[in-house]
């Protein structure tokens, strides 16, 4: 089918684009012109990754299911699509509700977070059925992120910078999906090898998840120091 290779090409271009530009908003002045513009490029690329992964996953499940391994990778694609879309959505949506002081019950926001948890669970089930280690353990990240999103929306904010922590936390989580997909699909082809260790597949999660907590701790501490200085001024 002609559409599949086109979608695959778009998926690869969007994924590499996201990998390249991801570091720019992380390193530039937060809220600055470069941060905002490049940030939107990143988010657009991730939405494209999600949409193309969704198409390819569905196509392979219903129209190209002759090889069991292909079925397993199909569910991986669907999970990547859900994880990318949900975290990119969350990273942007929190900016619209900076001033909220109560619980947030928007059906779309809660539904997308719930969908991430559901898809993570389904992927893990198929991972055990197909005895595919990546699908058995990687979706735990989706459950953690989805659960954290629901907790954030359904809990009144305790800090004025609440939106900021969720913003960078989810967009870094979004990049984990891209990096993991690259180590699963891209790296073996570039290195011309048939397979890569499960530990390398999980490396982006192992490296970037602690980064989320380190940045969270850093900016929470920074906001507390600024608050004390304002009170004493």
Q: How far apart are CA 184 and CA 87, in angstroms?
A: 20
Percent of the chain with pLDDT over 70: 79
| CA dist., res. 30 & res. 64, Å (int) | 44
Residue among 45, 70, 43 nearest 167 (CA):
43
**Does pLDDT of 1 surpass 80?**
no
Q: What pLDDT does residue 197 have?
A: 61
Helix H or strand E segment including 49: helix 33-63
**The two three-digit tokens of residue 100, written as one number:** 């909220």
CA distance 115 to 83: 9
Helix (H) / strand (E) containing 36: helix 33-63
Backbone torsions φ then ψ of 94, nearest 5 degrees: -65, -25
pTM assigned to the model: 0.81
Query: How many angstroms separate the CA atoms of 62 and 181, rounded?
Result: 21
Q: Does residue 166 have a pLDDT over 50?
A: yes
Task: State yes or no: pLDDT of 15 exceeds 90.
Answer: no
Cα(41)–Cα(59) distance, integer angstroms = 27
Instruction: Please say whether the beta carbons of 176 and 205 come within 8 A.
Output: yes
Contacts of residue 142, Cβ cutoff 8 Å, sequence gap at least 6:
79, 82, 83, 86, 116, 117, 119, 120, 123
For residue 32, pLDDT over 70 is answered with yes
For 112-124, the pLDDT digits (tens) are 999 999 999 999 9
Give the pLDDT confidence score for residue 2 in this predicted structure. Answer: 77
Q: Which pLDDT score, from 0 to 100, does residue 231 have?
A: 47
Q: Is the pLDDT of residue 228 over 80?
A: no
- Averaged pLDDT of the chain: 82
CB atoms within 10 A of CB 91: 22
Whether 109 shows a pLDDT value over 70: the answer reads yes
pLDDT, mean of residues 9-35:
88
* Residue of 64 and 195 predicted with greater confidence: 64
């Amino acid at each position: 089918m002609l559409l599949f290779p086109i979608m695959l090409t778009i998926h690869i271009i969007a994924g590499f684009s996201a990998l390249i530009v991801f570091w720019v908003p992380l390193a530039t002045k937060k809220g600055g012109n470069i941060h905002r513009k490049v940030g939107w490029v990143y988010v657009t690329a991730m939405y494209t990754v999600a949409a193309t992964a969704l198409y390819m996953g569905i196509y392979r499940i219903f129209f190209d299911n002759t090889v069991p391994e292909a079925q397993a990778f199909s569910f991986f694609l669907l999970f990547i699509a859900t994880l990318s879309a949900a975290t990119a959505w969350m990273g942007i949506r929190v900016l619209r509700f900076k001033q909220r002081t109560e619980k947030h019950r928007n059906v779309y926001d809660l539904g997308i977070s719930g969908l991430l948890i559901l898809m993570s669970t389904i992927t893990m089930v198929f991972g055990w059925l197909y005895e595919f280690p990546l699908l058995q353990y990687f979706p735990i990240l989706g459950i953690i992120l989805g659960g954290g999103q629901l907790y954030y929306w359904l809990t009144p904010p305790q800090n004025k910078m609440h939106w900021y922590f969720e913003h960078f936390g989810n967009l870094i989580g979004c990049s984990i999906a891209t990096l993991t997909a690259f180590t699963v699909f891209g790296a073996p082809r570039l290195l011309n090898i048939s397979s890569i260790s499960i530990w390398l597949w999980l490396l982006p999660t192992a490296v970037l998840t602690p980064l989320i907590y380190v940045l969270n701790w850093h900016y929470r501490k920074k906001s507390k120091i600024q608050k004390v200085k304002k009170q004493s001024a």
